[in-house]
Amino acid sequence: MMPDYVAGRNSVSEVLKSGRAVNKVFIARGNTEGSIRAIVGMIKERKIPLQEVDKQYLDKLTGERHQGIVAEVAPYEYVEIEDIIAIARDKGEEPLVVILADLEDPHNFGAILRTGEAAGIHGVIIPKRRGVQLNATVAKVSSGAAEYVPVARVANLVQAVEKLKELGLWVTGADMHGEKNLWQADLRGPLALIIGGEGRGIPKLLKEKCDFLTNIPMKGAISSLNASAAAAVLLFEVQRQRSKMEE
């Protein structure tokens, strides 16, 4: 299996902190100042091979802005849906899962991972086909969150939703025509939030499996938010409602 590459100082730093297997780290020749020095210290502490190369070599390894450092890592390990629920149960928390339906933009995926990690989600579910997968771009945009948020990859999202319901989760979809707005919807219990693909929204069959649809009230001329912005608004409303319940 081909290795993956993680580029950028913050992303490489989080990979090292997470304990994920790192085969080798490349740094641009002469690039040893600032935050790179602390990262090099972690690399040496973990006894990971470190190689100085020309900047052009790093450019070829990844199309992303690499800030003079790229790590060669083992491919991402996907988990099972049951693993995500077990993580929540072990923490004594109500499960909070994000389902990405046909999302294609790796920048949206990375942003959702970053926001989701901050909002306390327990995992993300993506389809094996017709959607963006975990890759170097996603990892870079997530600013390291890809190392901490488990991702399950499934053959059929409809079946995945049915399984989540069997495991006790309510399912809501983010939809501009949803029957409840985010303040009316009860988002406090075990929950799966479906975010649709750019421009297309949630597929019809998947939408029909939702227990309810949730909209975000819009006051401006723009009628909708992009996928990562919508996910951020809804996830932090979940946390607001849950924190009120704990008071």
Task: Give yes or no for residue 172 having a pLDDT over 90.
Answer: yes
Listed residues 24, 56, 73: the one ending a domain? 73
Range of the domain at 171: 81-246
> If you average pLDDT over residues 116-140, what whole number do you get?
89
**Residues 107 and 187 grouped into a single domain:** yes
Domain final residue, candidates 73, 96, 125: 73
Say if residue 60 is in the same domain as residue 137: no
Q: Which residue has the higher pLDDT, 213 or 17?
A: 213
Q: Domain with 111 in it: what CATH number?
A: 3.40.1280.10
CATH number of the domain that 48 lies in? Answer: 3.30.1330.30
Task: Please check whether residues 191 and 216 belong to one and the same domain.
Answer: yes
For residues 91 and 179, state if they share a domain.
Answer: yes
Q: Are residues 67 and 165 in the same domain?
A: no
Tell me: do 66 and 107 sit in the same domain: no
Tell me what the mean pLDDT of segment 164-179 comes to.
94
**What pLDDT score does 16 carry?**
87
Contacts of 117 (CB under 8 A, 6+ apart): 142, 145, 148, 149
- For the residues 98-114, what does the mean pLDDT come to? 93
Give yes or no: residues 52 and 107 share one domain.
Answer: no
Shared domain for 106 and 193, answered yes or no, is yes
Tell me if 131 sits within 8 A of 161, measured CB to CB.
no
What total number of domains does the chain contain?
2
Segment 222-236 mean pLDDT: 89
Question: Same domain, yes or no, for 99 and 217?
Answer: yes
Q: Is the pLDDT of residue 74 over 80?
A: no
Do 165 and 202 have their domain in common?
yes
First to last CA, the chain: 49
Highest mean pLDDT among 43-47, 129-133, 137-141, 242-246: 43-47
**Mean confidence (pLDDT) of the chain:** 89
Domain edge (last residue) among 48, 73, 98: 73
Decide if pLDDT at 100 tops 90. yes
How does residue 1 score in pLDDT terms, banded at 50, 70 and 90? very low
Please report how the helices 81-91 and 157-166 are oriented relative to each other, as an axis angle in degrees rounded to 10.
30
Mean pLDDT of all residues in 76-83: 91
State whether 212 and 97 are in the same domain. Answer: yes
Question: Phi then psi for 215, rounded to 5 degrees?
Answer: -110, 160
Same domain? 100 vs 122: yes
